[in-house]
Structure 1
């Protein structure tokens, strides 16, 4: 579960961003800017990250504030699951990433697998829609929904990409060090449940 300071910071940022989008009164605008500054101060105080960097990455969006979307592809071969090794932290994750404008969730899954693992896949079934704050991820300044899609291999060849150094299949009981910001062990284990029971209902928070 989230730290309270992170939850407060996100809520303040969302209120400020939406307020700045719709307010007409210049005094209200000033108050919303102050709220945004407070949210940045909270993050800077607890994380040690500079105000400038936080403003650029966390407090620079415009429009009504909504969660970001992360799409992950779940691919099985026999009794193993496909993971890619992320260059950024040298740990392993389901292939995937931020949803791209103009792409459906299924198209994002196909694109990410080809870019990160060299495989061509066909999306089969939605497995889970999870709220990142409800799981044991490291603190994240963004509110993120994670979509897990079961995909079948239809072509290509296993190879790393620009953001990945290795690609491999792992059994449920021999998982490598996982990239915790991208997926947790409990999430990976829950994906194996669909291998055992294809009719299992979609997971959601």
Structure 2
């Protein structure tokens, strides 16, 4: 891991410790130290990323309680051997449909909702394929620790359309993938998910 990425990782871990300490610590002096730790970690992230402190604070979620990873979902939808993908409005690059998990919904309900919202297609989640620790595999360390769950989903209806989150929606051959949104997904993750999807077994790839 490069030096800058390692510093980002350490800073995020310090922020997590500070958040957990503020959730459970009762001693007034300890709580003051946790606030200081949080501020130091924010300064580290600002320094290493070149962003202003206020930008870092806006990028980081405001959370309380024990610090845990965030959960996202992605859907693998095949039609005549081609893979459904969406062009993200945020960066103009492509990804599998999906997003953050909403509370009140199960992971499979979340991916069904995300696919319909982003593409107009109705699907049924039929199989869990992969669970990736995004921090472990990304080339750059993000400000959040993210687990992403990949589901195989079968088409049951709907019509392709764009949304406020997507500029385009299309099916692609596995060997002709468009430019990917690398902050969200990597080529090898798509290929791993497709490999598991095509295997007639209950094996799941994780980590």
TM over 0.5: yes
Deviation at 1:100, TM superposition (A): 0.6
- Selected match of 1:188 from 163, 172, 190: 190
CA contact (8 A) 2:129 2:197 kept: no
Cα gap change, 1:42/1:173 in structure 2, threshold over 3 Å: closer, same or farther?
same
Cα gap change, 1:69/1:26 in structure 2, threshold over 3 Å: closer, same or farther?
same
1:154 paired with 2:189, answer no
User: In the alignment, which residue of structure 2 is the partner of 1:88?
Assistant: 90
1:173 paired with 2:169, answer no
Give the match's secondary structure for 2:175.
coil
Runs of 4+ in 1 over 4 A off after TM superposition: none
CA contact (8 A) 1:84 1:94 kept: yes
Deviation track 1:5-32 (CA, whole Å, cap 9, x = no partner) reads 1110111011000000011111000000
Deviation at 1:135, TM superposition (A): 1.2
How far apart in 2 are the matches of 1:9 and 1:46? 10
How far apart in 2 are the matches of 1:27 and 1:195? 53
Q: Tell me which moved more, 130-139 or 112-121.
A: 130-139
- Selected match of 1:145 from 138, 144, 147: 147
Deviation at 1:147, TM superposition (A): 0.5
User: In the alignment, which residue of structure 2 is the partner of 1:36?
Assistant: 38
Q: Tell me which moved more, 178-187 or 137-146.
A: 137-146
1:54 paired with 2:34, answer no
| Structure 1 gap ranges (5+) | none
User: In the alignment, which residue of structure 1 is the partner of 2:165?
Assistant: 163
1:100 paired with 2:119, answer no
RMSD: 1.4
How far apart in 1 are the matches of 2:59 and 2:132? 23
Deviation at 1:192, TM superposition (A): 1.9
TM-score after normalising by structure 1: 0.95
User: In the alignment, which residue of structure 2 is the partner of 1:130?
Assistant: 132
| Structure 2 gap ranges (5+) | none
How far apart in 1 are the matches of 2:101 and 2:87? 20
CA contact (8 A) 2:196 2:204 kept: no
